[in-house]
Amino acid sequence: MRGAVFGEGGSGKTTLLMSLSALYGAEVSGKGRGGVVAVRVPDERVDFLASAFGSKKRSYVTVTLEEVQPGADALFDGQNLPLLKRSDFIILLVPQFPYSGGRVGEKTISQYVSGVLDEMCLSDYMVAEKRLERLVKEGKKDRERDLLERVVKALEDSTPLSKITFSAEENKLLAGFSFLTLIPMIVVVNVAEASREDPEIHSETEKVREKGLRALLVCASLEEEVMELPPEEREEFLREMGIASPAGERLLQESFSLLDQIVFLTAGPTEARAWNIRRGATAREAAGRIHSDMERGFIRAEVIHFDEFREFGDMAKAKSAGKVRLEGKDYVVQDGDILTIRFNV
């Protein structure tokens, strides 16, 4: 999973990345326009399986977050668009504290977010219109042209493409364009410590949610301070501040939910590993997530849910008890399933 942390200069992008880095023990890398942090998401199920199987290696789901700067003139430009379009999701930071520069100014949170969405629609419109003009010039009247005519009309009305229902075939046609407004987005309202309970900020954040967007309220500077404390003191400090869980933890949970991801597991003497995959994926698709040969030569999947396996702590015992079952290629993988793929190539 890859996310772009996008926002005005001084909005708190780096502070947010640094707090995530400290929370999960990940290093911030990258030079120039922005940093990159690769967060290994802790999973006690992987740890349990590694102990049960004597695995030499433990591999967790990794979420990579990249800081992306706005353009100097327009919000989106030739430098940041490629970075945004290769992302699975976008985190839009909206600063609500005194800072210099940027385009937020006197706009409310919801007004600023609406403005960003309008600019995203404009960026997508230019791409779609250019392609449509070429199809018209060539005299083509096909599915792509019909689809792009719908797309252009929606974008002219400042309607994000995420608001439109497309068929599976249409989504395949659209995939090559990497439209910004099809990329899921989380709005992170970054407030000053003194404004965490400001009713107007909470009201404006709710307006963002009413637009159909995910929105979180964080105080990145406070979170950074918390992460400077010894780990054993952090929970107590957060509790005293009335914060249920660290912003980084909430952000990752929201990302998984936004992308509708679940986790399945594999384990053996070499490695215990967590794999993320979209909810509703089949056993054969999960096999392909591990290796293309497994998907191509898929025969069956041995399946046991982690909760059942934990009762036995040993695969042989679980099999003897009849808890490990064989599933075909169309089996829908569940969160927490442990899979062993049978395949032949």
Q: In 3-state terms, what secondary structure has residue 5?
A: strand
Query: Are 23 and 243 spatial neighbours (Cβ–Cβ below 8 Å)?
Result: no
Residue 41 phi, psi dihedral angles, 5° rounding: -75, 115
Who's near 122: CB < 8 A, 6+ residues apart?
155
Confidence at residue 27, expressed as pLDDT on a 0 to 100 scale:
79
280 Ramachandran zone, left/alpha/beta (phi>0; psi -120 to 50): left
pLDDT tens per residue, range 285-305: 999 999 999 999 999 999 999
Q: What is the pTM of this model?
A: 0.88
Q: Return d(Cα 135, Cα 149) in angstroms, integer.
A: 11
For the chain, where are the alpha helices, taking DSSP H only? 13-24, 44-53, 80-85, 109-137, 143-156, 168-175, 199-210, 220-227, 231-240, 247-258, 283-290, 292-296, 306-312, 315-320
Confidence at residue 169, expressed as pLDDT on a 0 to 100 scale:
93
Helix orientation angle between 143-156 and 168-175, rounded to the nearest 10 degrees: 80
> What is the identity of the amino acid at 192?
A
Supply angle C-alpha 65, 69, 73, rounded to 5: 155
**Pairing of the two strands 325-327 and 298-305:** antiparallel
Confidence at residue 300, expressed as pLDDT on a 0 to 100 scale:
97
Q: In 3-state terms, what secondary structure has residue 31?
A: coil
Cα distances from 301 to residues 141, 326, 333, in angstroms, run 45, 6, 10
Who's near 247: CB < 8 A, 6+ residues apart?
16, 19, 188, 216, 218, 219, 220, 223
Kindly state the helix (H) or strand (E) to which residue 187 belongs, with its residue range.
Answer: strand 185-191
Confidence at residue 105, expressed as pLDDT on a 0 to 100 scale:
62
Query: Are 95 and 50 spatial neighbours (Cβ–Cβ below 8 Å)?
Result: no
Domains and CATH numbers, the chain: 2-42+61-102+184-258 (3.40.50.300), 114-182 (1.10.150.300), 280-343 (3.10.20.30)
Average pLDDT, the chain: 91
Query: Are 278 and 260 spatial neighbours (Cβ–Cβ below 8 Å)?
Result: yes
Helix orientation angle between 220-227 and 231-240, rounded to the nearest 10 degrees: 140
> What is the identity of the amino acid at 171?
N
CA dihedral of residues 240, 244, 245, 250 (deg, nearest 10): -150
| 2-7 sheet: strands from edge to edge | 28-29, 36-40, 62-68, 2-7, 89-96, 185-191, 214-218
For 10-108, where are the alpha helices, taking DSSP H only? 13-24, 44-53, 80-85
> What is the identity of the amino acid at 251?
L
Who's near 23: CB < 8 A, 6+ residues apart?
227, 246, 248, 249
Three-state secondary structure readout of 110-121: HHHHHHHHHHHH
- pLDDT by residue, tens only, the chain of 345 residues: 999 999 988 888 888 888 888 888 887 787 545 689 999 999 999 999 999 999 999 999 999 999 998 887 888 888 899 999 999 999 999 988 765 455 566 788 999 999 999 999 999 999 999 999 999 998 877 899 999 999 999 999 999 999 999 999 999 999 999 999 999 999 999 998 888 888 999 999 999 999 999 999 998 888 888 888 888 888 888 888 888 788 888 999 999 999 999 999 999 999 999 999 999 999 999 999 999 999 999 999 999 999 999 999 999 999 999 999 999 999 999 999 999 999 998
